[in-house]
Amino acid sequence: MRYRVLGGTGIQVSVHCLGTMMFGSVGNPDHDDCARIVHTALDRGINFVDTADIYSAGESEVIVGKALRGRRDDVVLATKVHFPMGEGPNRGGNSRRWIVRAVEDSLRRLGTDWIDLYQVHRPDHTTDVEETLGALTDLVRAGKIRAFGCSTFPAEEIVEAQHVAERRALGRFRTEQPPYSLLARGIENAVLPVCQRYGMGVLVWSPLASGFLSGRYRQGAAVDLTAGRPALTPARFDPALPGNAAKYAAVEKLVALAEEIGCSLPELAVAFTVAHPAVTSAILGPRTLDQLDGLLKGAALALDDAVLDRIDEIVPPGANLYQPDGAWAPPVLTDPARRRRPPAERAAA
């Protein structure tokens, strides 16, 4: 396993990161089995583990904490804050009030005295970014966290946060964690260039496009929309929907390319993400040990320029064939009132 520097921090992290979103009630409720996944990943050279307080309502952090007992010093541990963790208007978001509370909760669940990388899971337009950066900077000074970053932020908000940090002499986001895959290359337009501009590390999530690049879903084959990933987001997998035609067509071409170079589709998918010069690490989110083993088989796969050119022909650079689950949708797009004048003011005369 190779290692890369995480966003100018000097911290060396493995090019594959173990993601634990599937640990706990949402995915694999067997704590011992999840611990075996963690230990296998560490034994195979992965030293980077990513979780979040929201994953299985904190259960994932508990599992990770138990699995890392006796090995904590060897691991770069990342978690996140933002999503609501209970009832009440102030038990979520990016305010100082919540961040200071949430980090203590994560430290307790993880059974550790410090977090190596603490990430803001999504933007929060109700909170001034200066408030968020100030709270995170104080946590670094207090020794609670070593560095902090953001996740699924649009390019313009990453830039704003960098400028605020410089103007106010605050710590800055050292990393960004965006969705990136063979089918969702939109971050190549602005997010990745911005991260390179500011020397930020990039941890990409969903390299298998929420399971669409697992090799299980093929053009012309029946899809069970009542089980697994399709049950969670049937509109993404339903071959009868016109919007999915381009994805299924692209998958067939990518499967053929993978077979041509002697690898599996998941191996091709992960290798593609870490070939980009802006990407530090790709997050693998296995639910089972077999899934982890399958993904790690392709760790040594290096795609040459000819293969990358073929991929560009199948899915053009910067193109999204689908909108990744959980990708940030700004209020100016989701709230019609933000993009419509009052009816009486819409006419030009």
CA 308 vs CA 47, 92, 100, 101, 317: distances in Å = 28, 41, 44, 45, 10
For the chain, the three-class secondary structure string (H helix, E strand, C coil) is CCEEECCCCCCEEECEEEECCCECCCCECCHHHHHHHHHHHHHCCCCEEECCCCHHHHHHHHHHHHHCCCCHHHCEEEEEECCCCCCCCCCCCCCHHHHHHHHHHHHHHHCCCCEEEEEECCCCCCCCHHHHHHHHHHHHHCCCEEEEEEECCCHHHHHHHHHHHHHHCCCCCCEEECECECCECHHHCCHHHHHHHCCCEEEEECCCCCCCCCCCCCCCCCCCCCCHHHHHCHHHHCCCCHHHHHHHHHHHHHHHHHHHHCCCHHHHHHHHHHCCCCCCEEEECCCCHHHHHHHHCCCCCCCCHHHHHHHHHHCCCCCECCCCCCCCCCHHHHCHHHCCCCHHHCCCC
Catalytic annotation, pick one of 55, 118, 180, 322: 55
Retrieve residue 23's tokens.
Answer: 């640990």
235 class by beta-carbon count within 10 Å (0-12 exposed, 13-18 middle, 19+ buried): exposed
Contact by Cβ (8 Å): 12, 5? yes
> Does 3 participate in catalysis according to the annotation?
no
Retrieve residue 53's tokens.
Answer: 């307080």
Residue 315: what residue type?
V
Residue 309: what residue type?
D
Q: Known catalytic residues?
A: 55
